[in-house]
Amino acid sequence: MSVAVLAHPRLRAWPTTQRDALPLALWTSAEIARATGGKASGEFQCSGVEMDSRDVRPGDLFVALKGEAMDGHRFVDKAFAAGATAAIVDRPVDGPHVLVRDTTAALHALAAAARARSGAKRIAVTGSVGKTGVKEAIFAALDRSSRGQAHRSVRSYNNHVGVPLSLARLGARARYGVFEMGMNNPGEIAPLAEHVRPDVAVITTIAPAHIENLGTLEGIADEKAQIFTGLKPGGAAVIPADSPQFERLRVHAEAAGADIFSFGRTAGARVRLLDAIPAANGGASLVTAQIDDVRLCYSVAEPGEHWIDNSLAVMAAVYAVGGDLGAAGVALGEMGGLKGRGARHAIAAAGGRATLIDESYNANPASMRATLTQLGHTPASRRIAVLGSMAELGAFSSRFHEQLAEPIVDARVDFAVLVGDAMEPLVRKMGTAGAKSLGNATAFAHCAGPAEAIAMLEEFGLNAGDAILVKGSNSVGLGRLVDHFVNRA
C-alpha cells in the first residue's frame, strides 16, 4: 500500500528573488549587438569571453582583437575549433559572429554594458607589491560568503585590454566583482579606474616598481592614487597607513570624496593590527585586528610578515563593501600560494623531497626583501636562492640589485644563483670582503639565463630538506626553471 503525502503549497514553492529573473547566459547575440552597435549573424548565447584562441573553452565569445603585431582574425577558425560559440569581428567570417567596425572598441563597449547592467559591488586593487594576491584573497572571501556569486580578474589581466575583458566577463547575477589594475607608465591607472568605477579602491603598498618610468616613489604614489578618480560617489579608499607615502595617498583619496580605510600597524590605522603570532615553522600566522569597534581573530595561511599586512587590506576591503568578515577569515586561513607568486612544491631531491617556493612571476626591491626574509624563516637543511634580475628600475638598477646582498646574508642562504646581466652589481658586492663581513660568506654563481641556472642547480645537487626560493622579474623566464624541477622524476 502506498501513501501519498501532499505538502502545503507554500512549502512546495521555492523562494525567489529579483536576481532570479536575471539571465543565466553571460551574453546573447542581441545583447552583444546592442552593446557594440554591431550586427549579429544570427541568434546565439555565450557563457564566456576570450581574446586568446589558445584559452578558448566551449561556449566562449572570441573577440578578434587587432594589435600592432598580431591580428586576432587569423585565429578565428582555431577559436571555433576549440568550441567558441561566436566571434566579434570586423569582417564577415564563417560561423556565428557579430560584425563591428573596431573590435577593440567593441570590447570596451561590452565592458561598459556589463558594468551598467550589474548590481555587483566592485572592488579595484592596485599597488607596487601584492596586488594579485590581495585581489585573489578578496575574491575568495566574497565568493565564500556569496556562495559562488563573486567574479574577479583572472591571472594578471590588469592592463588596458585585461581590465575591459574582465569586466565583459562579469555576469548579470554576480554580487561582487574584484578587478586588478597595473601600470608601467604615467596615465595608465585612471582609464582603468574609469572602466570599473569601483565602490572600493585598494592600494596595497608603494614601492620602487616601475621607478624607471615614474622617476620617484612620490611619482609612483601619485599614479597609483589615480585609482580613486574612478570611485563611485560615496566610495571607499583602502590605503596603507604604515607607508611613507600615506599622507600623499590620503590627500588624493580625500580629493575624490572617499571614505578612507587606512590599514596597518600604526596606532591611528582604522584597520589596525593588534597582535600577530607567526607559526614557528614559517607557516600560518594567527592575527588579531581591530576595525572600528569590531575585533577580529583569524589565521593567515600564506607565510610571511607581508601577508599579515595583506590580510589587513583584505579585511578593510571586505568590511568597506559590506561583506562577511567571518567568511573572509576562513578564506584567508585556507588560501594556498599562487603559481609564480608563492606556490610551494615538494620536488624530487637526493634522499627524499625538497621544497621549491615559486615566486618567479615578478620581482622588485620590496618583494625581493620580503621573500628572502620568509626564506630565512623557512625550516630547511640548506637554503638556496635563485634570483633573477629586477626589471624597470632604470638608473636605480645597480643600487637596488647591490642592496640585495644584506637580505641574502640575513636569510642565511647557503647558495645563491644570480640570473641575468642586471645582477652584475650584486655579483661584485658578494665577491668583496665587505659582503663577507656581514657574516659567513655565501656561496654564489652568476648565470646568463634560465638554462644555465638549471644546469648550475643540477650540478650543485638538491638534497632532501632543502628550501629553494625562485624569484625574478617575469622577463627573466625563471618559470622555466620552476617547471623543470617540479616536473622532473
CATH code for the domain in which residue 27 is found: 3.40.1390.10
Residue 59: pLDDT band (50, 70, 90) is very high
Does residue 7 fall inside a structural domain?
A: no
In order, the DSSP letters of 266-331 are STT-SEEEEEEEE-TTS--EEEEEEETTEEEEEEE-S-SHHHHHHHHHHHHHHHHTT--HHHHHHH
Q: What pLDDT does 4 receive?
A: 53
CATH of the domain at 352: 3.90.190.20
Which residues have C-beta within 8 Å of that of residue 174, sequence separation ≥ 6? 118, 120, 149, 150, 151
Is the pLDDT assigned to residue 387 strictly greater than 80? yes
Residues 134 and 236 in one domain: yes
Residues in the chain: 489
Does residue 11 fall inside a structural domain?
A: no
Residues 379 and 257 in one domain: no
Residue 331: pLDDT band (50, 70, 90) is very high
Does residue 135 fall inside a structural domain?
A: yes
Residues 29 and 172 in one domain: no
Residue 437: pLDDT band (50, 70, 90) is very low
Q: Quick one: average pLDDT of 242-260? A: 97
Q: Quick one: average pLDDT of 312-324? A: 97
Q: What pLDDT does 433 receive?
A: 47
Is the pLDDT assigned to residue 340 strictly greater than 80? no
Residue type, 9: P
CATH of the domain at 224: 3.40.1190.10
The most confident of the ranges 201-210, 257-266, 300-309 is 257-266
Q: pLDDT (tens digit, 9 = 90+) per residue, 369-384?
A: 989 998 998 889 999 9
Residues 141 and 288 in one domain: yes
Residues 141 and 41 in one domain: no
Per the model's pLDDT, the better-predicted residue between 238 and 6 turns out to be: 238
Residue 247: pLDDT band (50, 70, 90) is very high
Q: What pLDDT does 420 receive?
A: 94
Per the model's pLDDT, the better-predicted residue between 79 and 306 turns out to be: 79
Q: What is the pTM of this model?
A: 0.81
Residues 328 and 307 in one domain: yes
- Give the residue from 282, 311, 334 where a domain finishes: 334
Residue 9: pLDDT band (50, 70, 90) is low
Residues 86 and 224 in one domain: no
Residues 327 and 450 in one domain: no
Is the pLDDT assigned to residue 97 strictly greater than 90? yes
Residue 210: pLDDT band (50, 70, 90) is low
Weakest mean pLDDT among 8-17, 54-63, 297-306, 423-432:
8-17
In order, the DSSP letters of 385-412 are EEEEPPPS-GGGHHHHHHTTHHHHHHTT
How many domains does one find in the chain?
A: 3
Q: Quick one: average pLDDT of 158-179? A: 95
Residues 294 and 148 in one domain: yes
User: What does each C-alpha distance from 402 to 131, 297, 370, 392, 424 come to in angstroms?
Assistant: 26, 39, 16, 15, 8
Residue 435: pLDDT band (50, 70, 90) is very low
Average pLDDT value over all residues in the chain? 90
Rounded to whole angstroms, how far apart are CA atoms 468 and 463?
10
Q: Quick one: average pLDDT of 46-65? A: 96
Q: What pLDDT does 489 receive?
A: 64
Contact between 249 and 271 under an 8 Å Cβ cutoff? The reply is no
Does residue 12 fall inside a structural domain?
A: no
Does residue 133 fall inside a structural domain?
A: yes
Contact between 404 and 471 under an 8 Å Cβ cutoff? The reply is no
Is the pLDDT assigned to residue 164 strictly greater than 80? yes
Residues 58 and 32 in one domain: yes
Does residue 108 fall inside a structural domain?
A: no
Residue 453: pLDDT band (50, 70, 90) is very high
Rounded to whole angstroms, how far apart are CA atoms 132 and 148?
20
- From the list 152, 130, 131, the residue with the least C-alpha distance to 141 is 152
Does residue 109 fall inside a structural domain?
A: no
Question: What torsion do the CA atoms of 257, 139, 189, 38 make, to the nearest 10 degrees?
Answer: -110
Q: Quick one: average pLDDT of 127-146? A: 93
Q: Quick one: average pLDDT of 409-424? A: 95
Q: Quick one: average pLDDT of 225-229? A: 97
Residues 92 and 59 in one domain: yes
Residue ranges making up the domain that contains 239:
118-334
Does residue 113 fall inside a structural domain?
A: no
Is the pLDDT assigned to residue 445 strictly greater than 60? yes
Residues 304 and 432 in one domain: no
Is the pLDDT assigned to residue 18 strictly greater than 70? no
